[in-house]
């Protein structure tokens, strides 16, 4: 029997539906119900409520270039201003305000030939900036799109994986934004090279999906001025090529993980692969990338409470291969998954 509604997220089934949407934001309610083994009527009612509430948003984002992580130290009282400026960039994927040495961190998709101008001209122009650190991402280990808090089995994930999406394991195995098997292996997701310009119909399709990632193919066809079959084919191609990513954007607190932290991990070079594998297996790691700089790994994490965070950074087995871990708590989020967050 369907559980009584006690809040925006009622129970574990709501959280599993959210996780299913994280696997494929365009999966039909029928497909989600079949994968989860739940009555379709229940899944439709609950899923529709979650989307209508705005707690779960489905959108699309074009891949604009290779990822670069930017850490910013701000003048007193200017952290929110600087983070808001970063979040307002169309090429910004996420932006968080932090405790610790850096006041905010963001990921920006920037073609490598534009990186010098971004670092030397654009970043210094941010309001309130005192110092910046620019860390090009060499490899994504996990992105927000591959994280679903361990609430689904591998079989359920496989049933939900859309053939139009970029397969997570298509990358070379060894140590994207945003993989069904990422929690069980150390598959490293390659970044695409700078991509050619989208056609006008593709841009219209992307714009429509950025507003609502669950628009029907009929709606997309009318917006783009093409047939429904063409809209379906174009979106499938764009997703397979990794040029467009459809993802669910949520607050981790909805899944019972209200404590967020950024980990800056330094490891001996020979031990990076083992540390990467351990981070990729953890359900607490929402995002992890191998970056340039003194600390090779950057991880965004989420926990049920501060005690769980403390245990993760003091008692985990992977710490044996780590030289240092700097922990920054997330004070506020301005952007997730390419979508602005209401404050």
pLDDT, tens only, 67-113? 999 999 999 999 999 999 999 998 999 999 999 999 999 999 988 89
| Confidence at residue 246, expressed as pLDDT on a 0 to 100 scale | 87
Distance (Å, whole) CA 214 – CA 318? 39
Dist. CA 23–CA 147, nearest whole Å? 8
Average pLDDT over residues 44-57: 94
Is the pLDDT confidence value at 17 over 90? Answer: yes
Cβ pair 140, 188 in contact under 8 A:
yes
Q: 156: which strand partners? A: none
Beta strands in the chain (DSSP E): 57-62, 67-74, 92-98, 104-109, 129-142, 244-249, 259-267, 285-291, 297-303, 322-336, 339-340
The CB-side HSE value for 225 (13 A sphere, CA atoms) comes to 6
Q: Is pLDDT at 182 greater than 80 in this prediction?
A: no
Q: How confident is the model at residue 196 (pLDDT cuts 50, 70, 90)?
A: low
pLDDT of residue 162: 55
Arithmetic mean of pLDDT over the chain: 86
For domain 196-242, say whether CATH 1.10.10.10 is its number. Answer: yes
Query: 133 falls in which pLDDT band (50, 70, 90)?
Result: very high
Question: Of the ranges 25-34, 167-176, 317-326, which one carries the lowest mean pLDDT score?
Answer: 167-176
Give the separation between CA 41 and CA 44, rounded to whole angstroms: 5
Per-residue confidence at 160, pLDDT binned at 50, 70, 90? very high
Q: What is the pLDDT of residue 198?
A: 79
Classify 293 as helix, strand or coil: coil
Q: Does domain 12-55 have CATH number 1.10.10.10?
A: yes
Region 320-343: what's the mean pLDDT? 93
pLDDT, mean of residues 318-329:
96
How many other CB atoms are found less than 10 A from the CB of residue 211? 12
* Closest by CA position to 142, among listed 104, 115, 163, 169: 169
Please give, one letter per residue, the 3-state secondary structure of 309-335.
Answer: HHHHHHHCHHHHHEEEEEEEEEEEEEE
- Assign 3-class secondary structure to 71-100: EEEECCCCHHHHHHHHHCCCCEEEEEEECC
In the chain, CATH 1.10.10.10 covers: 12-55, 196-242
Residue 16 has pLDDT above 50, yes or no: yes
Q: Does the pLDDT value for residue 184 go beyond 60?
A: no
Contact 275, 324 (CB under 8 A): no
- For residue 66, the 8-state DSSP code is -
At residue 278, the pLDDT reads 94
Mean pLDDT for the stretch of residues 224-235:
93
134 closest CA partner among 126, 146, 143, 142 = 126
Q: What local confidence, expressed as pLDDT, does residue 180 receive?
A: 32
User: CA 303 to CA 233: how far, in whole Å?
Assistant: 39
Q: Any idea what the Cα angle at residue 300 is, between residues 18 and 6, rounded to 5°? A: 30
Say how far residue 9 (Cα) sits from the centre of its chain: 21
Q: Which of 4-18, 161-175, 184-198, 276-290 has the highest mean pLDDT?
A: 276-290
Provide CATH 3.30.70.920 ranges for the chain.
142-191+253-330
CB 69 within 8 A of CB 177: no
pLDDT number for residue 32: 97
What CATH number does domain 142-191+253-330 carry, 3.40.50.1820, 3.40.50.150, 3.30.70.920, 1.10.150.20? 3.30.70.920
Q: How confident is the model at residue 243 (pLDDT cuts 50, 70, 90)?
A: confident
For residue range 252-263, what is the model confidence (pLDDT) as tens digits?
998 989 999 999
Distance of alpha carbon 104 from alpha carbon 84, whole angstroms: 10
Least confident of 108-112, 187-191, 309-313: 187-191
Residue 176 has pLDDT above 80, yes or no: no
| Residue 297: count of CB within 10 angstroms of its CB | 23
- What integer is the mean pLDDT of 142-150? 85
What's the rounded mean pLDDT across residues 123-129? 92
Q: Smallest Cα–Cα separation from 137: which of 162, 182, 106?
A: 106
């Amino acid at each position: 029997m369907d559980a009584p509604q006690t809040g925006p997220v009622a129970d574990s089934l709501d959280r599993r539906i959210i996780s299913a949407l994280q696997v494929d934001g365009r999966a039909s309610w029928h497909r989600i119900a079949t994968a989860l083994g739940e009555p379709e009527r229940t899944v439709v009612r609950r899923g529709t409520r979650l989307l209508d509430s705005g707690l779960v948003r489905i959108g699309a984002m074009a891949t604009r270039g290779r990822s670069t992580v930017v850490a910013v130290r701000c003048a007193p009282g200017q952290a929110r201003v600087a983070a808001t400026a970063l979040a307002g960039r169309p090429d910004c994927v996420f932006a968080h305000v932090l405790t610790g040495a850096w006041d905010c961190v963001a990921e920006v998709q920037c073609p490598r030939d534009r990186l010098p101008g971004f670092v030397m001209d654009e970043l210094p122009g941010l309001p309130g900036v005192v110092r910046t650190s620019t860390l090009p991402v060499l490899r994504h280990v996990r992105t927000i799109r591959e994280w679903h808090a361990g609430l689904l089995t591998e079989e359920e994930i496989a049933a939900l994986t859309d053939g139009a999406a970029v397969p997570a394991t298509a990358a070379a195995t060894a140590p994207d934004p945003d993989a069904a098997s990422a929690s069980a292996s150390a598959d490293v997701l390659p970044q695409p090279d700078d991509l050619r310009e989208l056609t006008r119909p593709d841009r219209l399709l992307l714009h429509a999906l950025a507003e609502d990632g669950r628009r029907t193919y009929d709606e997309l066809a009318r917006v783009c001025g093409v047939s429904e079959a063409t809209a379906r084919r174009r979106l499938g191609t764009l997703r397979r090529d990794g040029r467009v990513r459809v993802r669910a954007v949520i607050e981790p607190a909805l899944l019972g993980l209200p404590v967020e932290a950024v980990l800056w991990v330094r490891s001996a070079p020979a031990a990076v692969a083992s540390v990467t594998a351990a981070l990729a297996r953890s359900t607490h790691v929402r995002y992890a990338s191998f970056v340039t700089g003194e600390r090779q790994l950057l991880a965004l994490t989420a926990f049920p409470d501060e005690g769980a965070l403390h245990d993760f950074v003091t008692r985990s087995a992977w710490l044996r291969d780590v030289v240092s871990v700097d922990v920054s708590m997330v004070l506020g989020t301005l952007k997730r998954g390419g979508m602005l967050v209401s404050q």
